[in-house]
Chains A and B, each alone.
Chain A
């Protein structure tokens, strides 16, 4: 049983993240903490595994006990048998090149004999359908596949307490249900951290808490935000894609993936939601439309004029999943200024000021200290300033609350843009309230 008593925590020179926090998780109990971005979810998970103060200095008060054992007395590796976590950013928890290597390493850490190792491996792989991915390099896997690999590892370790940070992000509806089933059937305690309530959480947890300003409160299910109403656009642009085709070979040169989209069209003011399994081609389709993949066949036309790859990159906004890959300047202000290519007058300064308010950004904040959610807001703000007619949001609902995600989409729609939203969340797709498309094995339905 996990017992957190009087936990207070702050990083050096930083504000208090947790204030006298108390939490108990009984044997085989499943607890969910809903917390908005930047509220300390990841820090809490790192405190439990002991890595919060691994490189950063800070101040930790209170006790974290598991079955009466003070976890703070244990080194990080020794906690492995009690508690293990998955991270929101899956890449940072995948240590070696392939799932096979990671599982071997973890098996050595746990000193498992061959029989035990093979049993655990077979079980974990089948839980998340990763049997065929043992030798696939992580660098070649999609976001969803990497997520499943991370989950596979933690179920292989089989700790007494699973700490899962946004585990349902990046997973398709099918794999979300499979994860839910795996959690329900596991003989262990779970602490799940999420930025907003998902439909799949129904019936999964014994307790649900809300983390607000460093304190825990009983969560009461809030009504869903209003769906996005249809907004009549004053613009009349059309983005039309014809006969998009792309074939990619797998590592063995034989198996592979092909994208085949005969026709796709989106107009100013349209809201289109694109859903599909992990690896079905959602991001690939978006990249082809935006001119990011060179050898794709087919045409993309804007108002009847065919666009080459370079023109597509200038005409369409594609807000990718990982915001940090899109940011390179020291502060939020510097990032927003780059949009104007150094030509900053009074008008531009006013625009930056107003956009920073629209997206709740502090202009002085240092970019690489931003939380994942805040960085995502900054990424969206940059594309808002770029002012293009069509926008693709790739899983914007990950790491942002429904309110924030919908607010971002609404802002683009209000100025007449055509929107394509990629998501795995059925509830969110309903809230976007647009035409629904499904992609299966690279084919649009």
Chain B
């Protein structure tokens, strides 16, 4: 069963104003590049892991971590080869394979990557798609850009559920080999069915009134915080991270 990205929970993170979270995620990501201490990043990781567990539960948290694991692994394998200067920890003949500095660097890079991923994962798991759009419009993002994002939010789970239907449907007629089914028929059917939906979706959008009445305004409906409070609630933790 395919679900949307948002997870319904009553966590502390869920209660925070969506605009604050939307602003926090990118600013926090940028602020991480001012932190060059692996220990502090590790502490932040523990903190964010706890927030994530609270906001999305163990299952979704594990899924997120599994999703980024290959990239982290790749960083651990490749980065040390680029940083050869410093105190050598592993050498083969005259070739320095691993240094203390390389380990430090790879830890910093990996932890930054994990933290950025978690910050955005918490955002999309704890804010409804429509609230993300509303928040973006509150930040004066053009309506058409917000609409594109809405459609992406609609299309991702649609394509996922379409794939599931195609997988079931085709597995009833295709022969399964030792390594499972060949991927090509599934992908072709998925691509064609997805592309077929594009003109239908876009004409439906107009049939449902997109382009009518010129300018469209959605009701913001945010009552948790004022604009100033949103900005403050974001900048204070970011500044703390930077000064750490």
A85 at the interface (CB under 8 A from B): yes
The answer to whether B212 touches A328, judged by C-beta atoms less than 8 angstroms apart, is no
Q: Which residues of A contact B172 (CB under 8 A)?
A: 290, 292, 313, 316-318, 320, 326, 383
| Residues of A91-112 whose CB lies within 8 A of B | 91-98, 100-102, 104-106, 108-111
**Chain B residue with the shortest CB-CB distance to A320:** B169
| Chain A 233-256 interface 0/1 with B at a Cβ cutoff of 8 Å (1 = within) | 000000000000000100110000
Binds A, one of B21-29, B84-92, B193-201: B193-201
| Chain A 242-282 interface 0/1 with B at a Cβ cutoff of 8 Å (1 = within) | 00000010011000000000000000000000000000000
* CA–CA, A119 and B95, complex, Å: 76
Q: Which residues of B contact A95 (CB under 8 A)?
A: 151, 154, 201, 204-205, 208
Q: What is the number of residues of chain B that contact chain A, defined by CB distance less than 8 Å?
A: 54
CB distance from A268 to the nearest CB of B (A): 20
The answer to whether B189 touches A325, judged by C-beta atoms less than 8 angstroms apart, is yes
Binds B, one of A61-69, A125-133, A134-142, A210-218: A134-142
- Which of B165, B172, B186 has the largest number of chain A CB atoms within 10 A? B172
**Chain A residue with the shortest CB-CB distance to B150:** A96
Residue of B161, B175, B206 touching A139 (CB-CB under 8 A): B161
The answer to whether B196 touches A324, judged by C-beta atoms less than 8 angstroms apart, is yes
A382 at the interface (CB under 8 A from B): yes
The answer to whether B175 touches A326, judged by C-beta atoms less than 8 angstroms apart, is no
* CA–CA, A382 and B172, complex, Å: 11
CB distance from B196 to the nearest CB of A (A): 7
The answer to whether A139 touches B4, judged by C-beta atoms less than 8 angstroms apart, is yes
Residues of B within 8 A of A (CB): 1-4, 8, 129-130, 150-151, 153-154, 157-158, 160-162, 165-166, 168-176, 185-186, 188-189, 192-193, 196-197, 199-213, 216-219
* CA–CA, A328 and B182, complex, Å: 13
CB distance from A298 to the nearest CB of B (A): 19
Binds B, one of A72-80, A219-227, A436-444: A72-80
The answer to whether B212 touches A109, judged by C-beta atoms less than 8 angstroms apart, is yes
Chain B contact residues: over half helix, strand or loop, or mixed? helix
**Chain B residue with the shortest CB-CB distance to A111:** B213
The answer to whether B157 touches A322, judged by C-beta atoms less than 8 angstroms apart, is no
Q: Which residues of B contact A368 (CB under 8 A)?
A: 192, 196
The answer to whether A386 touches B206, judged by C-beta atoms less than 8 angstroms apart, is no
A445 at the interface (CB under 8 A from B): no
The answer to whether A54 touches B199, judged by C-beta atoms less than 8 angstroms apart, is yes
* CA–CA, A368 and B213, complex, Å: 36
Q: Which residues of A contact B165 (CB under 8 A)?
A: 320, 322, 325
Can you list 11 A-B pairs with a CB-CB distance of less than 8 A? A54-B206, A77-B207, A84-B208, A87-B204, A92-B200, A95-B201, A96-B154, A318-B172, A325-B170, A325-B189, A328-B192
A405 at the interface (CB under 8 A from B): no
A109 touching B150 in the complex, CB below 8 Å, given contacts A55-B203, A322-B165: no
Q: Which residues of B contact A111 (CB under 8 A)?
A: 213
The answer to whether B1 touches A92, judged by C-beta atoms less than 8 angstroms apart, is no
CB distance from A376 to the nearest CB of B (A): 12
* CA–CA, A76 and B204, complex, Å: 9
